């Protein structure tokens, strides 16, 4: 168990993982480079932990201590307690959900690893909006997709906004980057699951999932882009 510690200085180096969360460009560069991502809210934090992500630290206000008591009891990472105004000063926004956790990223799997045993896969090209990406991951989970493959220029599924909108689905649906693009699509073709004859396959700017034919028992990969 990690004993919660109260922090009163927004410049305290222990809060470094949480600084400038509203600076999208900074966080997009910094988080992958430092191997971290931010989980926001009780449910998302719990889902990240349940999916095997290791916690680096937790930041929360005092009223959330009881709600997160079991998580704190099992945590092997520092837990920082701050006042709401200090949390806002550090992060750049009002943390109305009361709890944030800095989590350690897992190594990104190779495409072949993600495709192994997969029956239904979504391929996303050029999707840079984190909200849309999170929504697609949530839909992919609901539709029973086995994996999501992303072109190199797609947004980061572990960016805070994407994680939040997906309601933690980014932790449940395996994903990989198709790099180099589009040559890496050959890996999917070799797997025998890419059907480029579907409506919408190859269309520019797509952000949705191409639904499988109703009668298909094992639908192939659905390109979206």
Task: Give the start-to-end residue ranges of the domains of the chain.
Answer: 5-104, 111-224
Find how far residue 163's CA is from the centre of its chain.
4
**Structure letter (DSSP) for residue 5:** E
pLDDT of residue 192: 66
Question: Tokens representing 192?
Answer: 């025998």
User: At the fourth CATH level, which superfamily is domain 111-224?
Assistant: SPOUT methyltransferase, trefoil knot domain (3.40.1280.10)
CATH of domain 5-104: 3.30.1330.30
Return d(Cα 136, Cα 169) in angstroms, integer: 9
Return d(Cα 90, Cα 12) in angstroms, integer: 10
Question: Tokens representing 160?
Answer: 């805070």
pLDDT of residue 107: 95
pLDDT of residue 197: 55
Q: Which residue has the tokens 């190779």?
A: 110
- Mean pLDDT, 10 residues at a time, over the chain (225 residues)? 90 96 92 95 95 97 95 95 95 87 96 89 95 97 95 96 94 95 85 59 42 46 55
pLDDT of residue 215: 44
């Amino acid at each position: 168990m990690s004993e919660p510690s109260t922090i009163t200085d927004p410049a305290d180096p222990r809060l470094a993982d949480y600084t400038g969360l509203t600076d999208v460009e900074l966080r997009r560069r910094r988080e992958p480079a430092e191997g971290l991502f931010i989980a926001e809210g009780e449910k998302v934090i719990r889902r990240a932990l349940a999916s095997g992500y290791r916690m680096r630290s937790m930041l929360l206000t005092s009223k959330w201590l009881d709600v997160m008591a079991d998580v704190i009891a099992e945590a092997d990472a520092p837990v920082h307690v701050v006042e709401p105004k200090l949390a806002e000063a550090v992060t750049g926004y009002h943390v109305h959900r009361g709890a944030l956790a800095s989590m350690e990223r897992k190594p990104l799997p190779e495409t072949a690893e993600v495709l192994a045993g997969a029956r239904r896969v979504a391929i996303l090209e050029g999707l840079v909006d984190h909200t849309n990406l999170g929504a697609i991951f949530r839909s992919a989970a609901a539709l029973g997709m086995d994996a999501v493959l992303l072109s190199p220029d797609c947004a980061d599924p572990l960016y805070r906004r994407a994680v939040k909108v997906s309601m933690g689905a980014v932790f449940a649906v395996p994903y990989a980057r198709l790099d180099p693009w589009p040559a890496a699509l050959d890996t999917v073709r070799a797997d025998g699951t890419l059907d480029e004859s579907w409506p919408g396959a190859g269309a520019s700017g797509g952000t949705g999932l191409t639904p499988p034919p109703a009668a298909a028992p094992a639908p192939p990969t659905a390109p979206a882009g």
